[in-house]
């Protein structure tokens, strides 16, 4: 795996360790000692006050990997083994929230976004002081200004008015990347995710330098059912082509070896999405609708649902590739549990809303599970899917892929299209303007939450840049 930061290494390693203990039937017996094993008494802890704090962080990071969050802890004396037992023997995971913040790990970001540096000259103008609405500026004996952080409200007026640019803005990474202001500090100074605002783009997960933001995982719900020989089918997103440095048949073989009845490509459903979306586009344009947007990105759908309701009438009613693939599988395996395998946090929300899909497994989790079980992809028995989708269907994995597929399907129809790739604050404002005015620069707009499309999703296994290059290479083989 191409790790881009140590947070990913920690998350990957912890899940792989838990899976290994599960495989060896030692999870319930040894999980309580895991934090001690990971942070022994004499170990040097970086970024924490002491080894005991680090052990607490390990404990609470384990909870979301077991399908819980810190809100499920009613008593601090409840051992991890009790949560592991509940995880292995629950009939279903009724958690409503998709993501959570590990309070113990979220402790080192600044409480106020502005700080006065030594560039302050102690000027007579005192513009910072004169423009502060809360009288939060104080002065040292040498005349230099300082901020009273107890009073400051981070309005930024001092920063804007300082003639020497001596006041710096210190961002909070998770808040900085969130395009809809769904994450903010609570009264205790800990970040909190407001799921009534969250669009599950997952940008905050890897932006947090302390690895405090987690998805509520379903790994052990899936593994336990596979161990119990329940019939399960894995439906794998097109961006799987960019995740592992091995032929896709080997990758599918490794996934199937976990105990799945069959592995099906979601690209098969993408062909249905292309057909329905293309026909709907032509129909809407003939009816006089000025433009239509794609509907396959669940994060974008959540954005419209929660923040831009005026945009919903312009979104295609066509189902996502996962939607159609699940129904194809259900025809063949009506009693099977279906597991969507992909790179997306928002897909967890879509799965909760789709009665035909039961669980979500991310590419990142797949990598950890295979390592924990000791399965090497290059040694796996190859598995070929029964239905091979066309190149354009696999192209859904990258930005521009849906536009290309629709244009190929429509052939001679002259439809102009644009991409909105990456749901940043700027692009959200752009979409809001389209909805408000009913005007857009094209008839067909493809919207993806991630900059390069699904291949650069928040839960990928491969490095994003390398993954994009590998995807392009793999698409040439179709």
* Distances in whole angstroms, Cα of residue 239 to Cα of each of 212, 263, 296, 312, 394: 26, 15, 14, 27, 8
- 10 Å CB burial of residue 275 (0-12, 13-18, 19+) is middle
Nearest to 459 by CA among 369, 385, 390, 328: 369
Question: Is 183 within a domain?
Answer: no
Do 14 and 30 lie in one domain? The reply is yes
Do 373 and 389 lie in one domain? The reply is yes
Residue numbers of the domain that contains 121:
112-170
Q: What is the pLDDT of residue 1?
A: 45
Distance CA 305, CA 311 (A): 8
Do 342 and 464 lie in one domain? The reply is yes
Distance CA 134, CA 127 (A): 14
Question: Is 251 within a domain?
Answer: yes
- State pLDDT tens for residues 248-299: 999 999 999 999 999 999 999 999 999 999 999 999 999 999 999 999 999 9
- State pLDDT tens for residues 80-125: 999 999 999 999 888 889 999 998 888 767 778 899 999 999 999 9
Question: Is 151 within a domain?
Answer: yes
- Token pair for residue 247? 């032929």
Question: Is 180 within a domain?
Answer: no
Question: Is 186 within a domain?
Answer: no
CATH code of 296's domain: 3.40.950.10
Do 318 and 270 lie in one domain? The reply is yes
Question: Is 184 within a domain?
Answer: no
* Distances in whole angstroms, Cα of residue 462 to Cα of each of 38, 46, 218: 25, 27, 21
Do 93 and 138 lie in one domain? The reply is no
Do 441 and 298 lie in one domain? The reply is yes
Looking at per-residue pLDDT, the higher value among 48 and 350 belongs to 350
Do 252 and 365 lie in one domain? The reply is yes
For the CA atoms of the chain, what is the radius of gyration? Answer: 25
Do 356 and 419 lie in one domain? The reply is yes
Strand 417-421, strand 444-448: pairing: parallel
- State pLDDT tens for residues 287-332: 999 999 999 999 999 999 999 999 999 999 999 999 999 999 999 9
* 3-state helix/strand/coil string of 460-474: CCCCHHHHHHHHHHH
């Amino acid at each position: 795996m191409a790790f881009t930061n140590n947070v990913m290494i920690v998350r990957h390693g912890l899940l792989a360790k838990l899976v290994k203990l599960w495989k060896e039937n030692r999870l319930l017996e040894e999980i309580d000692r895991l934090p001690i094993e990971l942070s022994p008494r004499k170990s040097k802890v970086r970024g924490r006050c002491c080894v005991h704090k680090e052990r607490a962080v390990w404990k609470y990071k384990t909870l979301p990997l077991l399908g819980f969050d810190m809100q499920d802890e009613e008593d601090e004396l409840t051992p991890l083994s009790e949560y592991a037992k509940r995880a292995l023997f629950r009939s279903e995971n009724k958690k409503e929230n998709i993501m959570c913040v590990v309070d113990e790990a979220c402790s080192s970001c600044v409480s106020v976004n502005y700080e006065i540096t030594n560039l302050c000259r102690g000027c007579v103008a005192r513009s910072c002081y004169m423009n502060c609405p809360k009288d939060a500026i104080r002065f040292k004996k040498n005349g230099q200004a300082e901020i009273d952080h107890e009073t400051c409200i981070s309005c930024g007026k001092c920063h804007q008015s300082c003639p020497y640019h001596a006041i710096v803005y210190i961002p909070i990474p998770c808040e900085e990347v969130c395009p809809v202001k769904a994450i903010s500090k609570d009264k205790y100074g800990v970040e909190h995710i407001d799921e009534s605002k969250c669009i599950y783009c997952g940008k905050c997960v890897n932006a947090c330098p302390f690895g405090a933001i987690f998805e509520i995982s379903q790994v052990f719900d899936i593994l336990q059912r596979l161990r119990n020989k329940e019939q399960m089918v894995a439906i794998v997103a097109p961006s799987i082509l960019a995740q592992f440095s091995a032929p896709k048949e080997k990758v599918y073989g490794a996934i199937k070896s976990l105990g799945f009845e069959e592995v099906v490509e979601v690209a098969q459903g993408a062909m249905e999405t292309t057909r329905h979306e293309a026909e709907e586009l032509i129909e809407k344009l003939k009816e006089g609708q000025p433009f239509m947007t794609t509907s396959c990105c669940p994060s974008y759908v959540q954005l419209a649902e929660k923040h831009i309701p005026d945009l919903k009438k312009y979104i295609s009613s066509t189902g996502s590739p996962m939607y159609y693939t699940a129904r194809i599988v259900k025809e063949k395996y009506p009693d099977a549990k279906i597991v969507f395998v992909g790179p997306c946090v928002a897909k967890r929300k879509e799965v909760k809303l789709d009665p035909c899909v039961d669980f979500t497994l991310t590419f990142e989790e797949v990598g950890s599970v295979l390592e924990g079980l000791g399965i090497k992809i290059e040694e796996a028995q190859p598995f070929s899917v029964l239905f091979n989708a066309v190149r354009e269907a696999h192209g859904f994995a990258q930005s521009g892929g849906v536009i290309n597929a629709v244009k190929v399907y429509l052939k001679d129809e002259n439809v102009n299209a644009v991409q909105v790739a990456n749901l940043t604050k700027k692009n959200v404002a752009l979409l809001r303007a389209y909805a408000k005015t009913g005007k857009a620069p094209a008839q067909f707009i493809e919207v993806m939450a991630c900059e390069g499309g699904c291949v650069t999703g928040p839960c990928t296994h491969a490095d994003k840049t390398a993954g994009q290059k590998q995807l392009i290479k793999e698409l040439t083989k179709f």
